[in-house]
Amino acid sequence: MPLIKTWQLIAGSAVAGLALSATAVAAAGPWDSGQRKAERVAAASWSPTGGGDHEERLIPLAAPSAPGVLTPLRAPGSAPAANQDALADALRPLLADSALGSVRGASVVEAATGKVLFESGSHEVMTPASTIKIATASAALAALGPEHRIRTTVVPDQGGRIVLVGGGDPSLSARKKNPAGPGGSLVALAADTAQALRSANTDTVTLGYDASLFSGPARHPIGPNDNIAPVSALMADEGRSDDSFAGPVDRGDDPAQDAARAFADLLRERGIKVTGEAVPAKAPAGAQPLAVTLSTPLGGLVERMLTNSDNDIAEALARQTALAAGKPASFEGGERAVTDRLATLGVDLGGARFADGSGLNRADKVSAGLLTALLAKAADPARPELRPVLTGLPVAGFSGTLKARNAGASPAAGLLRAKTGTLTGVNSLAGAVVDPSGRLLVFAFLTANTPAPDTAEKALDKLAAAVATTS
């Protein structure tokens, strides 16, 4: 049975008018091409051509089209006109909460028509924190498509040396079973390399590693931080010092060297003698690979990034966007490429700046209106390549960074998908929900100078719940 492409999947219970049980969502297991297995099987079951095949393959097979993501329950124009006054009456007092700081931007838009249902400071650019990942994801998907895969290779060099070449795969893992889900595998790469060497009657090599694909400073401008590793074209398990796959943790100073050392150990386990230490090297131009491992498809990377607010994936995707545009794979090159690519989507970029891909940089600037415009593009049936922007958003009360928010008895639990954003004094929330009348609405709320993150998040959650429940 063929695998369903991630960008063709149905997203959630509110959208299809079918309920994923709390048990099914809570039990959602490992990632499978970016989509949690339980959610994927449920989504496939709603389509007459669907199915739940989770066999691992190097390249996913093509599959019949599934219904669109976050499809409204009614066709555009068939539902009663949305009561804008009721929505405004619900949102204005909530937006006035002092917990939201001194500056607020808000935008609520009907995705199918682009009609603005509510706005307040929606064109004012503000620091978005991690909600900028919506822009990073949109640019990368528009540039490369959801099925694009990133290659990590091993190539022969002179004098009995082989070179491990990083392609910028943020899913690359040195673990036998990656808890983050399928992705590039140093274990499989080592096995294939060892077989190729033995076929050439070689059992002893020296190892070089090439991380030159990315340029510019490796350190994010915030400096050493548990939320992000030095940005490298060669990195295994995001440079993490433990077995985690999400959240803050101590990182190594040189991810490329750490990955090369892990690869050397894997070769030794497979009977290849690796002499000396792995050292930086430049892969010979035009060399044919001895072995190749491929990343999770880009759509899956986008989903992981958004669900877990993964900063390492975000910076890698900004650089992949730069490479696709022929620009340097650096912070500066990523900024130019993301800006240029988003401009091709026809959204208003007035005052916007994408100083990084993750939102850790306070120099990032977007408006609430820009975020809702990008979310509406992701819901557009004419832009299926952008669909992972919606399928990757955490589900309120169930997954990722929204697992503990709008949870339990909240009327938005299980219905709302949104990207969170948090920096000191900055809190944001942007996402999508089907309202009681059956319309898909996209929303964004940005704040500045918030006095405390906990109270700001609760105030944002009330705003989002109001969008979900007001008709």
Q: What is the pLDDT along the chain (471 residues), one digit of tens a residue?
A: 333 233 332 333 333 332 332 333 333 322 333 333 333 333 332 233 222 222 333 333 333 333 344 555 444 544 444 567 899 999 999 999 999 999 999 999 999 999 999 999 999 999 999 999 999 999 999 999 999 999 999 999 998 999 999 999 999 999 988 776 788 999 999 999 999 999 999 999 999 999 999 999 999 999 998 999 999 999 999 999 888 788 878 898 999 999 999 999 999 999 999 999 999 999 999 999 999 999 999 999 999 999 999 999 999 999 999 999 999 999 999 999 999 999 999 999 999 999 999 999 999 999 999 999 999 999 999 999 999 999 999 999 999 999 999 999 999 999 999 999 999 999 999 999 999 999 999 999 999 999 999 999 999 999 999 999 997
> In sequence order, which residues have a C-beta less than 8 Å from that of residue 285 and are 6 or more positions away?
none
Q: Which residues carry out catalysis?
A: 130, 133, 309
Q: Is the pTM higher than 0.75?
A: yes
